[in-house]
């Protein structure tokens, strides 16, 4: 090694607290066996350099102070305290990468960590998933496909005469007897659902203060159905009926 020696000014920790070094001057703290770089701010100012053992390399380092920094609130902590995430402290860029067509949620039973939840774009809803979300477009497409199954929308009088409203898929309405009708479809309807309501015509389906409010749809098949109107215990009473077939 070279015979040239460089010796810095030195002193105890207490002496450093009252010493005002020049800007950039380096002195030795003989109590802490480390260096102090002075900033020129007056007595006791400067930055103490950490020793190798304090950095944790080789073990035994101790953190003596933690400040809040960007995105956190609270601190600085020197002995004990709390740090919290500040409002808007977590940005999308700081979160874990999310796969395409996923949102953050939880479908596993009970509380726990957030999970990726699938977003499905299925017009037919074929997967029938109990844990996935559906897109607006797929919901609309599915609903539209179901509504397209409406086959008939019409009404008929107590004599079986079809009224305006379309009778799109109703071939005939035959009056069997008072308040009972057989409806025949023009073409077969797969898994038909028939909805019938009594028309709002007080001159036909009211007797005094009694409103007719009973209706029964039965014998529903791909080709037609039976509709019965009445009151009380379904005693047969003639009245006009609105009909929709799905």
How many CA atoms does the CB half-sphere of 218 hold within 13 Å? 6
Mind spelling out the 3-state secondary structure of the chain?
A: CCCCCCCCCEECHHHHHCCCCCCCCEEEECCCCEEEECCCCCCCCCEECCCHHHHCCCCCCCCCCECCCCCEEECCECCCCCEEECCCCCCHHHCCCCCCCEEEECCCCCCCCCEEEEEECCCCCCCCCCCCEECHHHHHHHHHHHHCCCCEEEEECCCCCECCCCCCCEEEEEEEECCEEEEEECCCCCCCCEEEEECCCHHHHEECCEECCEEEEECCCCCEEEEEEEECCCEECCCCEEEEEC
| C-alpha gyration radius of the chain | 43
**Cβ contacts of residue 50 below 8 Å, gap of 6+?**
34
Residue among 192, 232, 231, 201 nearest 183 (CA): 192
Query: Distance between CA 153 and CA 101 in Å, rounded?
Result: 40
| CATH class of segment(s) 10-55 | mainly beta
Report the pLDDT value the prediction gives residue 122, as an integer from 0 to 100.
Answer: 93
Length reported for the chain: 246
CB contact at 8 A, 217 and 226: yes
Domain boundaries, the chain: 10-55, 63-89, 96-136, 152-245
**Tens-level pLDDT at each residue, the chain (246 residues):** 677 888 889 999 899 889 988 998 999 999 988 999 998 888 988 888 887 777 655 555 566 788 887 788 887 888 888 888 888 888 888 888 889 999 899 999 999 998 999 999 999 989 999 999 999 999 998 887 776 666 678 888 888 888 866 556 888 999 998 889 999 998 888 888 888 888 765 555 555 555 666 889 999 999 999 999 887 777 888 888 888 888
CB contact at 8 A, 83 and 91: no
pTM over 0.75: no
CB contact at 8 A, 102 and 116: yes
Report the pLDDT value the prediction gives residue 148, as an integer from 0 to 100.
Answer: 63
Report the pLDDT value the prediction gives residue 65, as an integer from 0 to 100.
Answer: 80
Rounded alpha-carbon distances, angstroms, from residue 128 to 133, 141, 144, 145 = 10, 15, 18, 16
């Amino acid at each position: 090694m070279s015979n040239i020696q460089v010796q810095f000014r030195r002193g105890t920790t207490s002496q450093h607290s009252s010493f005002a070094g020049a800007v950039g001057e380096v002195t030795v703290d003989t109590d802490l066996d480390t260096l102090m770089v002075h900033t020129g701010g007056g007595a006791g100012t400067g930055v103490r350099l950490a020793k190798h053992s304090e950095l944790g390399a080789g073990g035994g380092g101790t953190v003596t102070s933690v400040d809040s920094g960007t995105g956190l609130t609270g601190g600085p902590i020197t002995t004990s305290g709390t740090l919290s995430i500040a409002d808007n402290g977590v940005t999308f860029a700081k979160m874990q990468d999310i796969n395409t067509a996923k949102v953050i949620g939880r479908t596993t039973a009970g509380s726990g960590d957030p999970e990726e939840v699938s977003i499905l774009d299925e017009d037919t809803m074929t997967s029938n998933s109990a844990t996935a979300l559906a897109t607006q477009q797929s919901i609309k497409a599915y609903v539209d496909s179901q509504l397209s199954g409406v086959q008939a929308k019409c009404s008929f009088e107590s004599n079986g005469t079809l009224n305006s409203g379309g009778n799109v898929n109703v071939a005939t309405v035959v009056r069997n007897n008072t308040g009972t009708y057989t409806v025949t479809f023009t073409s077969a309807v797969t898994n038909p659902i028939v909805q019938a309501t009594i028309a709002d015509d007080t001159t036909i389906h009211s007797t005094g203060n009694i409103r007719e409010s009973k209706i029964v749809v039965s014998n529903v098949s791909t080709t037609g159905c039976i509709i019965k109107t009445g009151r009380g215990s379904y005693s047969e009473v003639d009245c006009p009926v609105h009909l929709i077939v799905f």
